[in-house]
Structure 1
Amino acid sequence: MALRDLIQPRELLYPSNLLTISRILLLPATIYYMQRSDRRQRALVLLAITMLTDALDGPLARRRGEVSKLGQILDPIADKVLIDSAAVMLSRTRGFPWWATGLLIFRDVGILLAGLIVLRRKAHITTAASSGKLTTLAMTIVALLYLAGGPRWGKPALYIALIPFSLSFVQYGWRFLRIMRSGDK
């Protein structure tokens, strides 16, 4: 599938895709404020806003009939970059465990690479698994709690979030193998 087949210029103006793009554009400011202890409140608000765009973009696209290939590609990338960047910053500044950050990055790089392989070999865009969406929600809550109250608030939520995280790891792996084994293009 060629890049020109994925990006239709009009899709850049879909409200749902604009929300996804805004999430990407808000990332530098969010990360900047996350590293400053005197700006933690601002970081908390920005992180909440960026993740709210994630909650809104998919339903908006479906309601308006504007589900696009561009959105199907940009949305998961934006989610993963935001959550993984937040995890790195929280590990550096708020006691988020580095092992959890490593697992998140490992999982997300694997999902993105598998998605690229499927796109290249099967000309198919894989969509988020239900456990993946639940993991994004759970990790958002974890990030907000770590940002607001450090490990005391965030650690219990992290351990609960490991349940959908583990399920998504298995679900994405199983789906990748099934797609690659199928004879379909």
Structure 2
Amino acid sequence: MADRLRREVNDPEADPISDPVSTDVPVLNLANILTMFRIVLVPVFVVVLFVDDGDNPWWRTLAWGIFALAAVTDHYDGRIARQRGLITDFGKLADPIADKALIGSALIGLSVLGELPWWVTGVILARELGITVLRFWVLRHGVIPASRGGKLKTLLQAVAIGLYILPLPGLLHWLAVIFMAAALVATVITGFDYVWQAFAKRAQRRRDAAAARQIDGRRHR
């Protein structure tokens, strides 16, 4: 876990939406196959999570295994795409959809089971969906690379959700609560930071455009 944390924090530029598309790359490549596999795992995870109303520890452990496997594919599909030049428009669209589907289904499932407050699920999902839409919108004005805080937020969310899925007894459950609290704080802070960067980028683009028009006007005098 510590090794993965170092890899995530030290790779702040890994943003699948802002990566340039590779030319002449088939849609059916290893990176996209991993992404599609993650999407397929989502309904399987949900079904397993709700077996026996979520009270069977063996099924809960299996649900955790499926969630962990899906989270691992999230880590490697983007890395493989960038390292092997397999970035496609399909992958840039499907990857965030797969991420939100996995996290969203887990959070909603835990809330339906009464194990996670609905307001926590609402805050995290509102941030994730809102920032995804904002990221596509701001591409017209420039790329905002994924921050170290954003990567840490993603890791904290995955760990916290995984701990909630596991049937942890007694005091060990508080470990899940602590990680979820940390994930919630990171989610809110990085969300506000991204919104600020997006509007700053848009304002800078407008200033640059105005300056360019002034220069063109002077040249034509």
TM-score, normalising length: structure 2: 0.70
Which of residues 91, 96, 100 in structure 2 aligns to 1:80? Answer: 100
TM superposition shift of 1:11:
4.1
Q: How many residue pairs are counted as aligned between the two chains?
A: 178
Compute the RMSD of aligned alpha carbons. 2.6
- Per-residue Cα deviation, 1:119-167 (whole angstroms, up to 9, x for no partner): 5xx1867654332222221111011100113643411111122332133
The alignment status of 1:19 with 2:34, answered yes or no, reads yes
Which of residues 137, 140, 151 in structure 1 aligns to 2:158? Answer: 140
Distance 1:45 1:32 in 2: 13
Aligned to 1:162: 184
CA spacing shift, 1:99–1:9, aligned 2, 3 Å: farther
CA spacing shift, 1:63–1:113, aligned 2, 3 Å: closer
CA spacing shift, 1:143–1:94, aligned 2, 3 Å: farther
Contact between 2:48 and 2:63, CA under 8 Å: does it hold in 1? Answer: yes
Which has the bigger relative contact order, CA under 8 A and spacing at least 6? 2
Aligned to 1:171: 193
What are the ranges of 5 or more consecutive residues in structure 1 without an aligned counterpart?
Answer: 1-5
TM superposition shift of 1:13:
1.5
Aligned to 1:3: none
Q: Which has the larger radius of gyration?
A: 2
**Which structure's residues are more often helix, by fraction?**
1
- Per-residue Cα deviation, 1:79-126 (whole angstroms, up to 9, x for no partner): 12211111010112251121110101110121122134335xx18676
